[in-house]
Structure 1
Amino acid sequence: MIEIYTDGASSGNPGPSGAGIYIKSASEKYEYSFPLGEMSNHEAEFHAILKALEVCKKQFPGEILSFRSDSKVAVDVIEKESTKNQTFQPLLEKILTEASNFPYFFIKWIPEKNNGHADRLAREGIRKN
């Protein structure tokens, strides 16, 4: 099982945004930071999860994925597989499509204080814009 910690951050809301991804496999740790352009903080959270799924598709095909995010909004939408928010709907659809490439995909909410690695990487992503 691969543990994936994600975070999205924006400087302003909306504003320049970044995605941070921290991955723990059995033997290695991986860090990724991506600039996301201009978007809201909530959108950045969804994009961070999408970016992480893209990374996992290349690096960990066929693995069981256990995601952790400090975004209650993103976790709730993904767990329910439903949203009325028209901005989140296409992001949710992409996440569910990408997640279906793996035998198991889990996501759970964690407190912000337990997501420091991904938060630092998301802020790096903002600086890369």
Structure 2
Amino acid sequence: MIEVYTDASTIGNPGPSAAGIYIKQKNQQYEYSYFLGEHSNHEAEFLAVIRALEICKQTFPGEILSIRSDSQVVVTTVDKSYTNNPVFVPLLNQILTLHDSFSFVFYKWIPDKANKNADRLARSALKR
């Protein structure tokens, strides 16, 4: 199982946004940070998950993924596979489509303090 931690950082809401992705596989760790452009904080959290799934699709196809996020909106939306927010619909659909590349994907909400690596990576992308 691959543990994938995602987080987003946004200055303003909406504003400049970045994603941090921290991946653990056995004894290896992988770190990624991306500038996302102008988004709301919730959109940026969805985009962080999408980036993480895209990375895992290339690096770990067919694996079991445990996506961990401190965004309750993202975790709840993906768990239900439903949103009535028109802004989130295409983001959710993109996430659900990416799931086809893996044997199983599950989501877990984690508190901010358990997501420090992904948070650090997202913040560093905003500083660049």
TM range, smaller chain: over 0.9
Q: Which residue of 2 aligns with 1:21?
A: 21
Query: What is the root-mean-square deviation in Å for CA atoms of aligned residues?
Result: 0.7
Map of 1:42 onto structure 2: 42
Classify the secondary structure of the residue corresponding to 2:32. Answer: strand
| Corresponding residue SS for 2:102 | coil
1:66 matches 2:66: yes
Give the equivalent residue in structure 1 for 2:92. 92
CA shift, 1:9, in A, is 1.2
Amino acid in the other structure paired with 1:73: V
SS at match of 1:100: helix
Distance 2:100 2:57 in 1: 11
- TM-superposition CA deviations, 1:37-93 (whole Å, max 9, x none): 000110000000000000001111111100100000010000000000000000000
Q: Which amino acid aligns with 2:123?
A: R
**Match of residue 115 from structure 1:** 115
Distance 2:78 2:125 in 1: 23
Contact 1:61 1:102 survives alignment (8 Å): yes
TM-score (norm 1): 0.97
The total of aligned residue pairs comes to 128
Counterpart residue type for residue 10 of structure 1: T
CA distance in 2, matches of 1:5, 1:66: 8
Normalising to structure 2: TM-score of the pair?
0.98
- Measured after TM superposition, the shift of residue 105 of structure 1 is 0.2
| Unpaired stretches in structure 2, ≥5 consecutive residues | none
- Partner SS, residue 6 of structure 2: strand
Distance across 2 between alignment mates of 1:58 and 1:42: 25
